[in-house]
Structure 1
Amino acid sequence: MDRKPARVLTVAGSDSGGGAGIQADLKTITVLGGFGMSVITALTAQNTLGVQGIFEVPIPFIEQQFDAVATDIGVDAAKTGMLVNAAVVRAVAAKIRQYHIEKLVVDPVMVAKGGALLIENDARENFISELVPLALVLTPNIPEAEALAGLSIRSVEDMKEAAMRIREMGVPNVIVKGGHLQGPATDIFFDGRRFYEFYSERIATKDSHGTGCTYSSAIATGLAVGKPLLEAVREAKAYVTEVIRYAWRIGQGHGPTNHAAPLLNALDRILPFLDQR
């Protein structure tokens, strides 16, 4: 195999529990056929019960990581996740501009599933003014969309209104994820002209840690291999649904999704035929 791999960069925090952040991103990118690289913005002491501590990576080292991978390996698409303070947001935005990264998925990670604040309040204005306009697509969940749009979201119509307001911040495409609402898991995609609704059944499980990270890195991988944005989103939604369906029951709290589920399920289908040979 001598084809060039799709190079996907994740700029995010590390999750020591392995379910979210850099770890979830790299698993997703690998399973979906990309080559994953990372710029770690923060280290967390974290497990299924929540975040116990955050260590902020110094800005010069964040910049050094970015330069190392971008100048040597190159970047076909990127995603951002946890950017803990204003200085990190500014530094990451500057590097994205420097290396002309256009296929950028921005996941506005603000609060962990356990409730821990993952971005300082003073970083939000910088996030909106400097990073959002660089994104090809923004992927907030309901609480994040409420914070960005300044409204309460209780329905699909509210999601659409939030998507319109967020798009006015300068990002061409917005996906408001509906995992926090009741009923089918409905995501709203808005490109400024029309709305697209992506549905999946709601899977009864508390083991969904890292789904936002997984979703955004799946979209970035789709973009990196050359898929149109709408197709990348559709396939990312299907992937997230499958990894939640086969989530791992690990730990005492919110367990992680099973990023390898598509591969493991494919093997289960193939192995019986191989055994018959």
Structure 2
Amino acid sequence: MEQYPQALTIAGSDSDGSAGMQADLHTFFARKVYGASVMTACVAGNSYGIEASVTLPTEFIDKEFELLAADYQIRASKTGMLGNSELIRTIVKNYKLYDFGPLVVDPVIMTKHGNMLIEEEALATLKEELLPLAFVLTPNFYEAEKLTGIKLNTAKDFETAALILQKMGAKNVVIKGAHQDEKQIEVVDYLLLATGESHWLKAPYFKTERINGTGDSLSACIAAELAKGNDVLTAVKIAKEFVNKAIATELFIGHKFGPINHWAGSDFF
């Protein structure tokens, strides 16, 4: 019997539903893909900010992987924020053990404003052990700088950084453009494919504080499209358009930093 397309998010639970696992599952649903999940952590927060978090025991995470592999036919997977080296190594071990399709790695290490989210030790583990498993790697502007050690001042810098990330093991690389200029009118991302083919992807810039979960949703959409059987270029283009619509059509939930509107890019509405 043919299985409905299934994708997996390996991430933390965000209690306000705007980012992390919840944003991934919203995206999977919007793109008509069934979403399964391996929960790695739980975060307590709302639109004002995060106040508490806990990491799940690695034995429990192992069991999540084991039981999904015994029953589901996962066609593509993605990772979210993995806060420490033990957690990263647990994910790497299990991903190598089971066939969960191509892996999209969203290296959640720095915010869009350049603030560090994980410790340096975990960053080294991510670079050495998780990044080489990435079928698609989706760093933001600052994460690409941190991972490669070069400043992204010109188009050539983006191209050089993507090549460095490929040499680290990532097959396909999407470097997301910066959101830092008050006069900015567009966001430009750079895609380097495993074949050596490259593309500059442009979209209008919308000034809004309702952008929680943007990076999560982009990587989740890529995973969803890969699960459907789309090639990387098609998957990335669809994801770029999906997130752009979700940002442009504001959803007024919460009082400060709100979620993007996954319905706007959905096939259902």
Q: Tell me if the contact between 1:49 and 1:114 (Cα under 8 Å) persists in the aligned partners.
A: no
Measured after TM superposition, the shift of residue 117 of structure 1 is 4.7
Q: Tell me if the contact between 2:243 and 2:265 (Cα under 8 Å) persists in the aligned partners.
A: no
- Cα distance in 2 between the residues matched to 1:83 and 1:25: 15
- Cα distance in 2 between the residues matched to 1:49 and 1:162: 34
Q: Tell me if the contact between 1:11 and 1:41 (Cα under 8 Å) persists in the aligned partners.
A: yes
Superposition pairs of residues 91-240 of structure 1, within 5 angstroms: 91-112=90-111, 117-181=116-180, 182-192=184-194, 193-240=196-243
Compare 117-126 and 222-231 and name the one that shifted more.
117-126
Structure 2: gaps spanning 5 or more residues: none
Q: Tell me if the contact between 1:30 and 1:36 (Cα under 8 Å) persists in the aligned partners.
A: yes
Measured after TM superposition, the shift of residue 110 of structure 1 is 1.4
The answer to whether 1:245 aligns with 2:244 is no
Compare 3-12 and 173-182 and name the one that shifted more.
173-182
Q: 1:263 to 1:7 in 2, by over 3 A?
A: closer
- Cα distance in 2 between the residues matched to 1:113 and 1:169: 23
- Bigger radius of gyration among the two: 1
Q: Tell me if the contact between 1:50 and 1:113 (Cα under 8 Å) persists in the aligned partners.
A: no
Q: 1:154 to 1:255 in 2, by over 3 A?
A: farther
Q: Deviations over 1:129-161 (max 9, x none)?
A: 111111101000011111101122234332222
Query: % of aligned pairs identical?
Result: 38
Using structure 2 for the length normalisation, give the TM-score: 0.92
Measured after TM superposition, the shift of residue 263 of structure 1 is 4.1
Report SS of the residue matched to 1:131: helix
Question: Which amino acid in the other structure matches residue 194 of structure 1?
Answer: E
Measured after TM superposition, the shift of residue 101 of structure 1 is 3.5
- Cα distance in 1 between the residues matched to 2:18 and 2:253: 10
Measured after TM superposition, the shift of residue 115 of structure 1 is 7.5
Report SS of the residue matched to 1:206: coil
Question: Which amino acid in the other structure matches residue 47 of structure 2?
Answer: T
Report SS of the residue matched to 1:215: helix
State the 4+ residue runs in structure 1 displaced beyond 4 angstroms: 112-117
Structure 1: gaps spanning 5 or more residues: 268-277
Q: Give aligned pairs, total.
A: 265
Q: 1:260 to 1:151 in 2, by over 3 A?
A: same
Measured after TM superposition, the shift of residue 257 of structure 1 is 0.3
- Among 254, 257, 261, the alignment partner of 1:258 is 261
Q: Tell me if the contact between 1:29 and 1:36 (Cα under 8 Å) persists in the aligned partners.
A: yes
